[in-house]
Structure 1
Amino acid sequence: MPLHATTMIQNLPTDLLAVAGVVVLLVLLVLSAFFSSSEIAMFSLAQHRIDALVEEGAEGSTTVAALKDRPHRLLITILVGNNLVNIAMSSVATVLLTLYLSQGEAVFAATFGVTAVVLLFGESAPKSYAIEHTEPWALTVARPLKLSEYALYPLVIVFDRLTRIVNRVTGGDSAVESTYVTREDIREMIQTGENEGVIDADERKMLRRVFRFADTIAKEVMTPRLDITAVSQTTPLDKAVETCTESGHSRLPVYRDDLDTIVGVVELGDLIAARNDAHPSTSVADHVRDTLYVPESKHVDELFREMRDERVQQVVVVDEFGTTEGIVTTEDIVEVVVGEILDEQESEPVEVVDDQTVRVDGSVTIEAVNDAVSVDFPEGEEFETIAGFIFNRTGRLVEPGEKLVYDGVELTVETTDDTRIERVQITEPRPTATDAGSASVSG
């Protein structure tokens, strides 16, 4: 500081210097609160809300959007401004206290005094306010932040570049420029929502299924070949109608020689109309509608769009050799999200017996079982169902009454049909159980 300026300050009355210093400290404290609250408000505001505010024409929304388009630059602006203000507060407080204390005492008092004041009034309280009033406060501080960016432009540019260089050298990245909400974050929020009572268990299960929808393949939702009800293209109309009504299906696959040569689909309405016609045909061959043939690895979201575009309700799933593996209907795909849609004759695929016990069909997928129990069964390429899991673990056919223990969970095969496992009881361990990761079989 020039000698004449120092002399002028020394010549000012102590009380006047104290008042001026306090005023400066208050202004700096307000600026500290401004930068701290701005950081919380700007980075807590979700992008979809910013887009909505811009569409609504909210005042300041375009400035918010412009600032958030360069989040790293925005963060550097806030940090540079906040640090400059806090350092200035400490310096001014030290000078002010030297009017009444020794230099050492002044430094000590300024350090701890300014720290306490900044934590309370420059950090904690402003950030709490910003959390409670994120949107209105972000709109309020947007333009002052933009002016701060212009005012601090040289420092902002320098520290922006330096930060990126340090990130490259240390192998880090600028996470602030990536999305703040990931799929895993949303899954955790869904679980938190259930824990807090905001959503119920059924809603949580449906939301989780939505996230799995794009990862689900046709093989996981198809009706397997063994369970397909189909008719030959030479089947008489009366017999085909009878097969439809007995099976409870409104449409059936039609094959030429066997299920590996499915030629299309026939619908019950067409059959009844043809049978009541004045000149009815003798078989279903004249009423077959085209269908689609898809690989078992096709994702159901793509399959659903294709079925909707082609206006088909049932498709044939084939393996790499062209062998029919099963069929998929629009109902099967809808059930991926909403859960099992049961007919009057069907039983619940997952039946909750008590807090520790559930009974499931052998055809229930591992994902569905994991939704029903607290211990996650592994998912592998070799199997998709709980029956497949049991076969994979035992390596042989099993008989009713056999038990498999995995990670403390006891699986009891209740019923079988020839080589198929029809029903399995799953009993979870009591809270005191210590089994972990081991698997054994008993008869």
Structure 2
Amino acid sequence: MDDISTGILFALLACLIVISGYFSGSETGMMALNRYRLKHLANNGHKGAKRVEKLLDRPDRLIGLILIGNNLVNILASAIATILGMRLYGDLGVAIATGLLTLVVLVFAEVTPKTLASLYPEKVSYASSIVLTILMKVLSPLVMLVNMITNGFIRLLGIKANHGADDHLSSDELRTVVNEAGTLIPRRHQDMLISILDLEHVTVNDIMVPRNEITGIDINDDWKSIVRQLTHSPHGRVVLYRDQIDEVVGMLRLRESYRLMLEKNEFTKETLLRAADEVYFIPESTPLNVQLLKFQRNKQRIGLIVDEYGDIIGLVTLEDILEEIVGEFTTSIAPSLSEEITPQGDGSFLIEGSANIRDINKGLKWKLPTDGPRTLNGLILEHLEDIPESHLSVQVSGHPMEIVELEENRIKLVKVFPPLVK
């Protein structure tokens, strides 16, 4: 070293600091990459992404290579700085060189390159992967030796070294990814994706048409009444039963009944029953994502929901599940919901007690609790723990509510105000 001029040593020191900055920036850039975007680019043939993906297949080797290179460079830079300090300031130069080198390395070989790499991880990683791939081949024996020692030490600590990173996302993590997509995914599409993820948390009895609202035809009625109900039904399918809904005998497609009407000699109760499809029953606790697949597998579009005792408690259709994903197929608030909710001039809403809480939340962007009762009537009764005998006012989940109309043992009409601002 004594034969090397001071100017050359300064030049070598500057080069070493640049190389140290390269290793520091490469490490940060590689670790800051979006792994899913990287996989997408690699699958589409991006050469830089393919190189980086190959390096990241064994992150222990990549980190080992970068740290070997970085430490060798920093140690050599420290030695050169010590020589320069002693040449210029004698023994005091060692302390001066140590302090100055620490500041220079910190600013120019650590903070600055790592900050730039975190801001532009793809540009840094794809470019540096060329040199790192070459170094990995040249220094592979040394890298493997260091990794063997390191992994052996890790095993002594009782920790299993897992080289394959777990890139799988849970539904909650995927929900966060979708929400953070910003303008990359249109808001409408984000809502649909979130709704699909939420299907597993919603069961068929959360969206069902309640038993008392099921449109059906009692096959024991007189024939003229049956024909009149068929011709005036607003639905594509109706339930056929005897005396009560639990004695269901079939599900009739109105299109099939119209076909039978054209064949006057064939249009009787017997032919109507023969034309009816077998009823498809669904357990009440079935999640929507499961039921959607079952509808597809069984080629069904409608089913009756039964409780643990086998009693019919409601009805659900394929359209109901699809509306949970894409929203109502009608404009504004759904007709059924608009009939149950009436806006008032003071900002409140008159809501029928039978209105479904989830529908209220979706239509009015509220957050009434949905983990208990499914109707507004049930929610208020649960809160009161009693059936009110007269009109009264309560506050449920931050919403002031005034019971407007009672009918027998249920709340028929409620005046609900938006949630109070805390």
With the length of structure 1 as denominator, give the TM-score of the two structures: 0.77
Give the number of aligned pairs: 413
Q: Distance in 2 between matches of 1:321 and 1:394?
A: 28
| CA shift for structure 1 position 255 | 1.5
Question: In the alignment, is the contact (CA less than 8 A) between 1:45 and 1:135 conserved in 2?
Answer: no
| CA shift for structure 1 position 75 | 4.8
Q: Distance in 1 between matches of 2:178 and 2:347?
A: 24
| CA shift for structure 1 position 252 | 0.7
Show the counterpart of 1:14: 6
Distance 1:247 1:416, change over 3 A: farther
Distance 1:147 1:416, change over 3 A: farther
Distance 1:86 1:38, change over 3 A: farther
Q: Distance in 1 between matches of 2:12 and 2:404?
A: 86
Show the counterpart of 1:441: none
Show the counterpart of 2:109: 118
* SS at 2:246 equivalent: helix
Q: Distance in 2 between matches of 1:357 and 1:97?
A: 79
Q: Distance in 1 between matches of 2:148 and 2:134?
A: 18
Per-residue Cα deviation, 1:57-92 (whole angstroms, up to 9, x for no partner): 332544444444444554555555555555554454
Question: In the alignment, is the contact (CA less than 8 A) between 2:20 and 2:109 conserved in 1?
Answer: no
Distance 1:63 1:360, change over 3 A: farther
Show the counterpart of 1:437: none
Give the root-mean-square deviation of aligned CA atoms.
Answer: 3.9
Aligned: 1:396 with 2:386: yes
Distance 1:403 1:54, change over 3 A: same
The letter of the residue matching 2:315 is I
Moved more, 270-279 or 320-329: 270-279
Structure 1: give runs of 5+ residues left out of the alignment: 1-8, 434-443
Moved more, 389-398 or 157-166: 157-166
Distance 1:143 1:157, change over 3 A: same
Question: In the alignment, is the contact (CA less than 8 A) between 2:216 and 2:240 conserved in 1?
Answer: yes
Q: Distance in 2 between matches of 1:143 and 1:351?
A: 68
Show the counterpart of 1:222: 208
Q: Distance in 1 between matches of 2:254 and 2:126?
A: 59
Aligned: 1:155 with 2:113: no
Aligned: 1:53 with 2:44: no
* SS at 2:12 equivalent: helix
Moved more, 223-232 or 63-72: 63-72
| CA shift for structure 1 position 186 | 4.0
Aligned: 1:318 with 2:319: no
Aligned: 1:405 with 2:379: no
Distance 1:263 1:156, change over 3 A: same
| CA shift for structure 1 position 94 | 4.1
Per-residue Cα deviation, 1:223-261 (whole angstroms, up to 9, x for no partner): 111111111234566534532454521111111342112
Q: Distance in 2 between matches of 1:364 and 1:81?
A: 68
* SS at 1:304 equivalent: helix
Q: Distance in 2 between matches of 1:355 and 1:139?
A: 64
Q: Distance in 1 between matches of 2:186 and 2:346?
A: 21
| CA shift for structure 1 position 339 | 2.6
Show the counterpart of 1:232: 218
Q: Distance in 1 between matches of 2:200 and 2:398?
A: 32
Show the counterpart of 2:292: 304
- Counting only pairs closer than 5 Å after superposition, residues 280-299 of structure 1 correspond to structure 2 as 280-283=266-269, 284-299=272-287
Moved more, 23-32 or 286-295: 23-32
Show the counterpart of 1:273: 259
Aligned: 1:386 with 2:372: no
Show the counterpart of 2:30: 38
Q: Distance in 2 between matches of 1:377 and 1:165?
A: 53
| CA shift for structure 1 position 341 | 4.0
Q: Distance in 2 between matches of 1:253 and 1:142?
A: 70
| CA shift for structure 1 position 359 | 5.8
Show the counterpart of 1:251: 237
Distance 1:163 1:421, change over 3 A: farther
Question: In the alignment, is the contact (CA less than 8 A) between 1:414 and 1:423 conserved in 2?
Answer: yes
With the length of structure 2 as denominator, give the TM-score of the two structures: 0.80
Per-residue Cα deviation, 1:277-309 (whole angstroms, up to 9, x for no partner): 041232232321112112101122222222222
